């Protein structure tokens, strides 16, 4: 199905779909595809609920979104040994999940499966709090976990104090006796000449620095060494006790690993609904209406947002798509540059979005669900060694025909356009007939091939094409125009509405387009004469 | 103004001209001076977990952290330190020494630092340090990480230079070059005609290959200059040199070995001399 996704330009559209948590982002990458109406209707209902909340209580939604953004990825095995960082991340995760779950309205909480049951673990990881207000994410190994840890830390603090007092006294003595001021310095460089007088000082360590200077450093003295050694021992004990605490916390976390996975899934759902609601609000998206298998696909005011954006960038108008595809098999004719592919892309985008659980860019969109959406056409197929573009198309079609039972929507864009037009038309006619014989299959083909034979019951559509009356006024007024202006003219006179094709023979607009694009008048005139003669 | 105190409120990268130039010693000195002026935060660039200097084999000075300091290191380094700590953030990704964390010191002691390998992460960490209240941020740089200094807006750097008799001239020339590069203006308002723009390194070969009609040359930043002081000086006499990105030289810290200050300073330009902090561990006995 990824060809259909690419043809629909889904990725370009979903650039504006921005889940905030790592879980929502992972779900975006997984690209869920719904095929059951009940699950999809539920998804739509929850997006609608979030849209209501965005309008009625944006402050609350902002709070949840802030917490979703702060959720860390728990990218480690919760049942394995956990280190400092992992426990910090777990505490941070629990803090924000807890906050979101507590703040959600009851119906959303239930729909998300946001069932908070980890109060004890959360408080265990939060023991001791932070040294600063407002730093609720901070984590440390509190002495409240082990009384001995408190005793060791108190002992360390006492030793630090003694060492500080000892050092201050020592530095003061050195300053008074020798004029050496160590304020803010671990050592000093003094001239080697005369440094000999310092050699007998018990509180100084002296080492050569260069030929002219020696470095002098206050030594600790016997008492200082005893205190420093005691401090080392206490730090080692502190680390051993901290390791015990870490192990205990890790074990407690491991016992709740299953719950953590549940919380991640709940956060992923809430994040997805909120992001889909934001997307719907930003692009004025509509909730799709689902209908039974075989019912018509009805589009009113359907917009292919990436195409619309490109037109806007070029200063061109965009015509939304309105049409009803009632027949199981349909063919879509139209001028060169008349909008056939754009119409097909719009159908693809709306259908893919709807079945991916999104609202759609249309005034209204009514559609049945398919198990599969397929695209056959150029540009998005992966190359297969030895196959031409025609060969690649056939390769893709073979795959579709081998699965006759699947409820699928097949979109074909300019099938067989690279081969002889008569054979191409015959092949496309036969292919559409083959799809018609598969009752679960729905097919829509955009083509410029004439002379198709369609199965009885199939429908033909055409893009309205050039407005010849308006265009005629411009004939003869050609000058040297830049390409952008020529494109603007085509857009100005092209009517992108899709209408039923009555089958009456009608000239295409290729020559008019060629003229507007700047092909020499002499050549176009000759082509028109030849066309007339062939009729 | 006191050069070290001028770092208050800034993000300063301390980079060295060579291994063992004295970066960490300066960092410890600067931290002591800057703490009374507001919260300090510090980190290093890259992973450097050796107890001893890889080149000289001597013990490396450790960073002394005090209660209230903010620092970035790995979780394993933090556990191997003497510090009491609380974790404020764990950054994405991992290093060979564990995950990088932002910690506030609860009990002082020594610690080894390790930090991010790339600019995006570095920028994220600097933002996190600022957000947690670090008024001044010091980054223990590395000889080969000058590009990181150049890439962050608003950052300045302190260049630690170690000079001995064998490297006296080269050290002075390196300083002259850095000082001159710091004065290069941004590439604004240059006429297109006669201006060449280099995206890579400026080497002697590329300089020689420039058309004679070239009057101005735009380089990305100072890290792209691979010329000696003399080559650079000659080049600036014929070319208007500009950088695309701003950078700031805060000051030089010069550590002399077997060289007197007078000998070192002789012949150096006065404006360069004004930006030199001589080894601060020597001051008290001078």
Q: What is the pLDDT along chain A (535 residues), one digit of tens a residue?
A: 788 999 999 999 999 999 999 999 999 999 899 999 999 999 999 999 999 999 999 999 999 999 999 999 998 999 989 999 999 999 999 999 999 999 999 999 999 999 999 999 999 999 987 767 778 999 999 999 999 999 999 999 999 999 999 999 999 988 898 888 888 888 899 888 878 888 888 888 888 888 888 989 988 888 999 999 999 999 999 999 999 999 999 999 999 999 999 999 999 999 999 999 999 999 999 999 999 988 999 999 999 999 999 989 988 888 899 999 999 999 998 777 778 899 999 999 999 999 999 999 999 999 999 999 999 987 555 656 666 777 777 777 877 777 767 899 999 998 877 777 888 889 899 999 999 998 889 999 999 888 888 888 889 888 777 676 666 556 545 556 666 776 676 666 777 777 777 766 666 677 777 777 777 777 777 777 777 776 6
The mean per-residue pLDDT over the stretch B218-240 comes to 91
Does B79 sit within 8 Å of A242, measured CB to CB?
yes
Q: Which residue has better confidence, A63 or B198? A: A63
- Distance to chain B for A315, nearest Cα, Å: 31
Rounded to whole angstroms, the Cα distance separating A171 from A175 reads 6
Domains in chain A, number = 3
Identify which of A23, A7, A25 has the alpha carbon closest to the alpha carbon of residue A15: A25
**Cβ within 8 Å, pair A189-B285:** yes
A414 & A330 share domain = yes
Smallest CA–CA distance from A237 into chain B, residue: B82
Residue A132 forms part of a structural domain: no
Give the list of residues 6+ apart from residue A142 with CB closer than 8 angstroms, or none: A127, A128
Contact B33 A235 (CB under 8 A): no
A210 at B interface, C-beta within 8 A: yes
Q: A177: burial class by Cβ within 10 Å (0-12, 13-18, 19+)?
A: exposed
What is the average pLDDT score of chain B? 86
Annotate A387-454 with DSSP letters as a single string.
Answer: --HHHHHHHHHHHHHT-TTS-EEEEEESTTTTS-HHHHHHHHHHHHHHHHTSTTEEEEEE-------P
Q: Is residue A308 part of a domain?
A: yes
Burial label, B212 (beta-carbon count in 10 A; 0-12, 13-18, 19+): exposed
**With an 8 Å Cβ cutoff, are B88 and A138 in contact?**
yes
Q: Do B88 and A180 touch (CB under 8 A)?
A: no
Q: Which residues are CB-neighbours of B26 under 8 A, at least 6 positions away?
A: B14, B158, B160, B253, B280
Interface test with A, best of B86, B110, B256 (most A CBs within 10 A): B86
Per the domain annotation, does A322 fall within a domain? yes
Residues in B lying within 8 Å of A, measured between beta carbons: 25, 28-29, 32-33, 61, 64, 75, 78-79, 82, 84-90, 92, 98-99, 101, 104, 106-109, 132, 164, 256-258, 260, 279-282, 284-285
For A128, residues 6+ apart whose C-beta sits below 8 A from its C-beta are: A140, A141, A142, A143, A144
Residues A405 and A469 in one domain: yes
- Would an 8 Å CB–CB cutoff place A157 in contact with chain B? yes
Kindly identify which residue of chain A lies nearest to residue B85, measuring between CA atoms.
A140
Instruction: Give A152→chain B minimum CA distance, Å.
Output: 12
What gap in Å lies between CA B195 and CA A387, rounded to an integer?
50
The ipTM assigned to this model is 0.87
Tell which residue, B228, B251, B99, B100, has the closest CA to residue B169.
B228
Residues A279 and A416 in one domain: no
- For chain B, the structural domain boundaries read 5-165+248-265+276-285, 187-243
pLDDT at residue B60, rounded to an integer: 61
Q: Is A144 helix (H, G, I), strand (E, B) or coil?
A: helix
CA atoms lying within 13 Å on the CB side of residue A52? 8
What is the residue range of A106's domain?
16-118+256-283
Does A107 share its domain with A186? no
Write down the pLDDT at residue B139: 92
For residue A232, give the 3-state DSSP assignment. Answer: helix
- Is position A278 within any domain? yes
**How many residues in total does chain A contain?**
535
- Predicted pLDDT at A259: 96
Q: Per-residue pLDDT averaged across B194-215, rounded?
A: 90
- Phi-psi sector, B27: left (phi>0), alpha (psi -120 to 50), beta: alpha
Task: Among B25, B84, B165, B253, pick the best mutation site for testing chain A contact (most A Cβ within 10 A).
Answer: B84
Q: Is pLDDT of B129 > 90?
A: yes
For residues B80-89, give the mean pLDDT: 95
CB contact under 8 A, A140 and B87: yes
At B55 the pLDDT is 41
Residues of A whose CB is below 8 A from B109: 235
Q: Is A398 part of a structural domain of the chain?
A: yes
Q: CA–CA distance from A39 to each of A43, A284, A347, A356 (Å)?
A: 6, 23, 22, 11
Q: Are residues A349 and A214 in the same domain?
A: no
CB atoms within 10 A of CB A519: 13
Contacts A–B by Cβ distance under 8 A = 89
pLDDT average, residue stretch B238-254: 89
Mutation target vs A (from B89, B98, B106, B255; most A CBs, 10 A cutoff): B89
Residue A529: inside a domain: no
Cα–Cα distance between A424 and A447 in angstroms, integer? 10
Do A421 and A390 belong to one domain?
yes
Question: What letters, b where the CB count within 10 A reaches 16 and e where it falls short, cover B107-121?
Answer: bbbebbbbbbeebeb
DSSP character at residue B13: E
Shared domain for A267 and A303, answered yes or no, is no
The domain B5-165+248-265+276-285: what is its CATH number?
3.40.50
- Residues A106 and A49 reside in one and the same domain: yes
Interface residue of B95, B166, B284, B286 to substitute, partner A, most A CBs within 10 Å: B284
Q: Verify that A299 and A278 share a domain, yes or no.
A: no
pLDDT for B189 beyond 90: no
A 10 A CB-CB count for A293 gives 12
Local confidence band at B62 (pLDDT 50, 70, 90 cut-offs): confident
Q: From B281, which residue of chain A is nearest by alpha-carbon distance?
A: A188
In a domain, A530, yes or no: no
Nearest residue, CB atoms, A210 vs list B82, B86, B258: B258
- Helix or strand or coil: residue B255? strand
Q: Which of A131, A156, A189 sits opposite B282 (nearest CB)?
A: A189
For residue A276, being part of any structural domain is answered with yes
Interface touch A140/B284, C-beta < 8 Å: no
Phi, psi of A256 (to 5 degrees): -110, 20
Span B63-77, mean pLDDT?
95
In 3D space, the residue among A50, A66, A55 whose CA is nearest the CA of residue A109 turns out to be A50
Task: Indicate whether this model's pTM tops 0.90.
Answer: no
Does A190 contact B28 at a Cβ distance shorter than 8 Å? no
| A309 and A345 both lie in a single domain | yes
pLDDT of residue B286: 38
3-state SS, residue A102: helix
**Do residues A202 and A330 both lie within one domain?**
no
**Do A449 and A412 meet the contact criterion of CB atoms below 8 Å apart?**
no
Residue A469: predicted pLDDT? 63
Bridge partners, B106 (sequence order): none
């Amino acid at each position: 199905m990824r060809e259909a996704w690419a043809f629909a330009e889904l990725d370009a559209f979903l650039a504006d779909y921005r889940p905030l948590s790592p879980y929502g982002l992972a779900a975006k990458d997984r690209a869920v595809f719904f095929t059951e109406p009940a699950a999809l209707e539920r998804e739509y209902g929850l997006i609608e609920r979030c849209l209501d909340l965005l309008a009625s209580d944006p402050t609350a939604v902002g709070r949840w979104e802030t917490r979703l953004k702060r959720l860390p990825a728990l990218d480690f095995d919760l049942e394995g040994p956990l280190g400092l960082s992992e426990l910090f991340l777990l505490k941070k995760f629990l803090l924000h999940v807890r906050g979101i779950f507590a703040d959600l309205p009851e119906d959303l909480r239930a729909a998300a499966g946001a069932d908070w049951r980890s109060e004890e673990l959360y408080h265990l990881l939060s023991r001791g709090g932070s040294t600063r207000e407002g730093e609720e994410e901070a984590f440390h190994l509190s002495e409240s976990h082990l009384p001995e840890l408190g005793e060791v830390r108190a002992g360390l603090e006492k030793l630090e104090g003694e060492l500080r007092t000892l050092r201050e006294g020592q530095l003061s003595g050195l300053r008074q006796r020798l004029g050496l001021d160590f304020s803010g310095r671990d050592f000093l460089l003094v001239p080697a000449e005369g440094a000999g007088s310092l050699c007998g000082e018990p509180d100084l360590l002296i080492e050569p620095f260069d030929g002219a200077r020696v470095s002098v450093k206050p030594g600790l003295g016997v008492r200082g060494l005893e205190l420093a050694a005691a401090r080392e021992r206490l730090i080692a004990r502190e680390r051993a006790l901290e390791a015990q605490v870490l192990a205990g916390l890790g074990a407690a976390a491991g016992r709740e690993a299953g719950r953590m996975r549940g919380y991640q899934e709940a956060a992923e759902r809430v994040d997805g609904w909120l992001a889909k609601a934001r997307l719907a609000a930003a692009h004025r998206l509509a909730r799709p209406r689902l209908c039974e298998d075989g019912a018509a696909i009805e589009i009113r005011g359907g917009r292919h947002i990436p195409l619309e954006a490109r037109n806007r960038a070029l200063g061109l108008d965009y015509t939304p798509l309105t049409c009803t595809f009632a027949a199981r098999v349909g063919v879509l004719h139209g001028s060169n540059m008349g909008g056939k592919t754009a119409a097909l892309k719009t159908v693809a985008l709306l259908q893919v979005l709807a079945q991916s659980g999104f609202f759609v860019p249309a005034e209204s969109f009514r559609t049945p669900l398919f198990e599969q959406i397929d695209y056959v056409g150029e540009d998005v197929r992966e190359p297969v060694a030895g196959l031409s573009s025609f060969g690649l198309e056939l390769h893709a079609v073979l795959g579709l025909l081998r699965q006759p039972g699947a409820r699928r929507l097949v979109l074909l864009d300019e099938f067989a356009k690279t081969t002889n037009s008569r054979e191409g038309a015959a092949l496309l006619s036969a292919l559409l007939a083959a799809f018609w014989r598969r009752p679960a299959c729905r097919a829509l083909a955009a083509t410029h091939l004439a002379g198709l034979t369609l199965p009885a019951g199939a429908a033909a559509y055409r893009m309205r094409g050039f407005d010849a009356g308006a265009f005629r006024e411009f004939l003869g007024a050609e000058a040297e125009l830049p390409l952008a202006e020529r494109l603007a003219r085509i857009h100005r006179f092209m009517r992108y509405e899709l209408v039923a094709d009555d089958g009456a023979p009608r000239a295409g607009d290729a020559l008019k387009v060629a003229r507007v694009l700047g092909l020499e008048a002499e050549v176009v005139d000759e082509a028109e004469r030849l066309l007339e003669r062939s009729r | 103004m006191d050069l070290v105190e001028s770092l208050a409120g800034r993000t300063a990268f301390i980079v060295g001209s060579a291994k063992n130039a004295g970066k960490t010693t300066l960092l410890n000195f600067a931290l002591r001076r800057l703490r009374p002026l507001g919260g300090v935060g510090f980190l290093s660039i890259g992973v450097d977990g050796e107890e001893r200097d890889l080149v000289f084999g001597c013990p490396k000075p450790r960073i002394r952290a005090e209660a209230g300091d903010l620092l970035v290191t790995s979780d394993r380094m933090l556990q191997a330190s003497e510090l009491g700590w609380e974790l404020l953030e764990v950054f994405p990704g991992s290093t060979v020494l564990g995950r990088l964390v932002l910690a506030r010191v609860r009990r002082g002691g020594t610690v080894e630092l390790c930090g991010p390998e790339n600019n995006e992460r570095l920028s994220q960490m600097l933002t996190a340090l600022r957000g947690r209240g670090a008024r001044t941020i010091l980054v223990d740089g590395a000889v080969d990480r000058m590009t990181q200094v150049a890439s962050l807006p608003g950052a300045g750097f302190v260049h630690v230079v170690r000079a001995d008799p064998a490297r006296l001239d080269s050290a002075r020339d390196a300083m002259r070059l850095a000082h001159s590069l710091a004065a290069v203006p941004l590439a604004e308002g240059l006429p297109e005609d006669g201006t060449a723009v280099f995206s890579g390194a400026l080497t002697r070969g590329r300089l020689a290959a420039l058309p004679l009609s070239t009057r101005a040359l735009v380089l990305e930043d100072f890290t792209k200059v691979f010329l000696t002081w003399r080559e650079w000086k000659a080049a600036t006499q014929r070319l208007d040199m500009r950088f695309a990105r701003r950078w700031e030289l805060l000051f030089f810290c010069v550590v002399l070995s077997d060289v007197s200050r007078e000998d070192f300073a002789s012949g150096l330009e006065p404006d360069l001399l004004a930006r030199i902090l001589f080894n601060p561990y020597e001051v008290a006995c001078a």
